[in-house]
Chains A and B, each alone.
Chain A
Amino acid sequence: MMPKKIIDAEGIERILRRIAHEISERNQGTRNLALVGIPTGGVHLAHRLARIIKEMEGNQVKTGELDTTLYRDDLPLKGPIFRLKRTDIPFDLNDHRVILIDDVLQTGRTIRAALDAITDLGRPKNIQLAVLIDRGGRELPIQADYTGKLVTPTGSEEIEVRLRETDGMDEVIVQEKKPGEKPILTR
Chain B
Amino acid sequence: MTLKSRHLLGLENLTRAEIEYFLDTAGSLKEISSRDIKKVPTLRGKTVINLFFEASTRTRTSFEIAAKRLSADTINISASTSSVTKGETLIDTAKNIEAMRPDLVVIRHPASGAPELLSRWVDLPIINAGDGTHEHPTQGLLDLFTVREKRGKIDGLTLAIIGDITHSRVARSDIYGFQKMGARVRVCGPPTLIPPGIESLGVQKFHRLEPALEGADVVMVLRIQLERQGTPPFPTLREYSKLFGINLERLRRLKPDTLIMHPGPINRGVEISPEAAYGSHSVILDQVENGVAVRMAVLYLLSGRSVDA
Contacts and interface: CB of A to CB of B under 8 A. Distances in A.
Contact of A182 (B39, B301, B309): B309
Given A80-B301, A87-B28, A186 B308 contact: yes
B306 A187 contact: yes
Interface in A25-69: 67
Interface in B1-57: 1-3, 6, 24-25, 28-29, 31, 35-37, 39-42, 44-45
B303 interface: yes
Number of chain A interface residues as a range: 20 to 34
Nearest to B305: A79
A67 B234 CA distance: 53
Contacts of A184: 307, 309
B300 interface: yes
A116 B40 CA distance: 9
Nearest to A120: B37
B233 interface: no
Contacts of A75: 42
Contacts of B37: 120-121
Nearest to A73: B41
A185 interface: yes
Nearest to A116: B41
A187 B41 contact: no
Contact of B35 (A81, A121, A182): A121
B307 A79 contact: yes
Contacts of B29: 70, 84
B304 interface: yes
B307 A84 contact: no
A67 B39 CA distance: 14
B307 A70 contact: no
A168 interface: no
A187 B301 contact: yes
A85 B305 CA distance: 21
A86 B24 CA distance: 10
Interface of A: 67, 70-71, 75-76, 78-81, 83-88, 116-117, 120-122, 182, 184-187
Interface of B: 1-3, 6, 24-25, 28-29, 31, 35-37, 39-42, 44-45, 70, 300-301, 303-309
